[in-house]
Amino acid sequence: MGPLIINDIISQNTNFFLAFLIGIGFGFVLESSGFSSSRKLAGVFYGYDTVVLKVFFTAAIVSMLGLLFMSLFNWIDLDMVYINPTYLWSTIIGGAIMGAGFITGGFCPGTSFCAASIGKIDALFFIGGLFLGILIFAEAYPLLEPLYKGSFKGTPTLPQALGMKDGVVVLGIIIVALGMFWVGEWAEKKFPREEY
C-alpha cells in the first residue's frame, strides 16, 4: 500500500531516481505540447489559446480520480500523503506575484526551464528574474517572516473545507472543468489570434 517510500516499499535512492525519470518525462510532454512557447502560455490570459488550461485541468482530474480509486481499493492511504501547509496571506500574495509574472513573461517556473532547455533566450531572462526574486526574498525573509507565516490554516483538503465526501468534490471539479473547457472553446472563437 502507498505511499511507497513511507511504507518502505522503495528506498530513498529509488524514489529520487523515479522522480528524475518522471521529471524528464514531464519536461518532454511540456515541450511536445508546445508549452515552451510564451505566446501559447500567455494565450490563456488573453483567451486566444486555452490549451494550457485544458491540459492542466485534465491532469488534475486524472490525478484526483487516480488517487480516489486507489484509496477506494486500499492501494494508497491518503492520510499519509503529504499536503503543503496553508498560510493564507503568503499564498494569496505569492499567487498574485506569480500570476503577474506569468502574464507579463509568458512562463511559469517549470515552463521557463522547459523553454530554456531548447535555447529560448526570453526564458533565460525569465529564469534570471526568478533567481533574482528568490535572492531578494531570502535576504528580506526576516522582515517578511510574519507575513509569510501569517494566517496559518493547517493542511485542509477541499472536501474537509467544504464538509463533503471526496467523490462528490471530485465530481464537482469534473463538472467545473467541463464548464471551463466550454468557456475555453468559446474564448478561442471570440478572441482569435493569427498563427504564431
What is the full DSSP assignment across 34-55?
TTT-HHHHHHHHHTS--HHHHH
pTM above 0.85, yes or no: no
Do 50 and 43 touch, CB atoms closer than 8 A?
A: yes
SS3 153: strand
Closest by CA position to 188, among listed 40, 33, 50: 50
Q: What is the pLDDT of residue 134?
A: 93
Q: What is the pLDDT of residue 139?
A: 96
Mean pLDDT by 10 residues, the chain (196 residues): 74 89 88 83 84 87 92 86 89 90 85 88 91 94 91 88 91 93 90 70
Round to whole Å and give the CA distance between 196 and 192: 12
Q: What is the pLDDT of residue 127?
A: 93
C-alpha cell read off for 34: 508546445
